[in-house]
Structures are given as C-alpha cells and as structure tokens.
Structure 1
C-alpha cells in the first residue's frame, strides 16, 4: 500500500486521488498540512531524485516565497531542507506518494502508470 500526502483543496491532488481510485491502487491518504511526510520518507525521496532537493519543494506556494527559499535552497544542507519540509507540509510538492519502491512527487499520469503498473 502507498501513502498519499495530499491537500483537499488542491486540484492536482484531487485528480491524482481520482486516478488512484479508478485504477484500484490501494492507498492511505494523509493530510499533508497536518501530517507532513517524515524526515525518513523525505530522505528516501531525495535519494530517488539523485540528491536533488528542488523537486520536493512546492515552489509556487506562498510559504516557499515568504521564506525566501528560492535564494536559500541552493546553499541549504540536505538535513536542513528535509527538516524544514518535515515540519511544514505547505512546502512539500503535492501530491507526495511513497510506498515500497515507489516515490512520486506531483501528478504526471504517465509516470504514475509506469511506477504503479496501472492504466
């Protein structure tokens, strides 16, 4: 089973959840703002992106802009970035999906089909 971190008012999250339901993918949905991904889950995601932190951040969000992360992120350590993400679900790009051998950030249907073997 996969864990899907989503925000109920996010159109992309709603599309992703609909896709998962239509394709019969077992999932546990978690409210990303109230229960952000854990530091351990985020480290798995960082590793799956070759150490690149940027794909994990919701760069279009207000919190990202308010914290000036566009300028700070390039000089930030992985540990500091993961800590920040694990404490503020608004900073995490959504939906954020993690499960056995699967990490997905954002909703790209073709990528989801390939990784989840559906569609």
Structure 2
C-alpha cells in the first residue's frame, strides 16, 4: 500500500498511527515533495470512483487563495487534473492506494476503522 500525505497534517499523522497499530505494510509518500502527475491523478481518480471535486483540498490555503470555489465550475476535467498536479497542497489528503482500491480523505479513516 501507499499512503500519500503531508507530514505536517494531523489527519495524515493519525492515519499513519492507525496503519502502524494494525501492522499494515505501506510506503509513505510526501505529497508536497512528490506530487502526483496528471497521468497518475487520472488513474487515481478513475480507480476511486469519486467525483474529481473530492480530490481538491477545499479547506486548504492554496485553494482559497486561488478562489477555486468559483473557478472550478468553469474548468474541464483536463484542466482540473493539470491544476491538481501543479501543487500537492491542492490535493485532498490522505490518499491510501492499494492494489484493489483508492481511498481519499475521510474514506481512509473509515476504511481503517472498519466503518
């Protein structure tokens, strides 16, 4: 498994602890240092089954600074992928990637807690 997160994010830290407590083997990828590419985002999006909006960190500072709440509705899917790939801080975290599934944000904790 791969956990894509941000080391300063308390939610990501909590997910790391849960993974460790469960003895699950995973690789941690820092989203600010190794941001997913457009091709990778397309794959994650497709495999997650989620709306692309769920991949945006809508509570983040960069999202607010760029006024994306208003701008995203006028962008096509390809533009959204490029925007997400341009700055890891725009991407909702954590993302848990396994062979079988891709979980984003609150889905990760629910999965790990069996909810």
Give the TM bin, normalised by the shorter chain: 0.7 to 0.9
Which secondary structure state, in structure 1, belongs to the residue aligned with residue 8 of structure 2?
A: coil
Question: After superposition, what is the alpha-carbon deviation per residue over 1:51-98, rounded to whole angstroms, capped at 9, x for unaligned?
Answer: 611110100011001111101112211111111111200000111222
Give me the whole-angstrom Cα distance separating, in 2, the residues matched to 1:38 and 1:85.
Answer: 8
Gaps of 5+ in 2: none
Give yes or no for contact 1:5–1:37 (8 Å, CA) kept in 2: no
Gaps of 5+ in 1: none
Q: What's the counterpart of residue 33 of structure 2? A: 34
Question: After superposition, what is the alpha-carbon deviation per residue over 1:6-41, rounded to whole angstroms, capped at 9, x for unaligned?
Answer: 111111000001111111221111111111122233
Instruction: Give 4+ residue runs of structure 1 displaced > 6 Å after superposition.
Output: none
Calculate the TM-score normalised by the size of structure 2.
0.86
Q: What's the counterpart of residue 53 of structure 2? A: 54
Calculate the TM-score normalised by the size of structure 1.
0.83
Q: Does 1:111 align with 2:111?
A: yes
Aligned residue pairs: how many?
Answer: 114
Give me the whole-angstrom Cα distance separating, in 2, the residues matched to 1:40 and 1:9.
Answer: 26
Give me the whole-angstrom Cα distance separating, in 1, the residues matched to 2:95 and 2:68.
Answer: 19
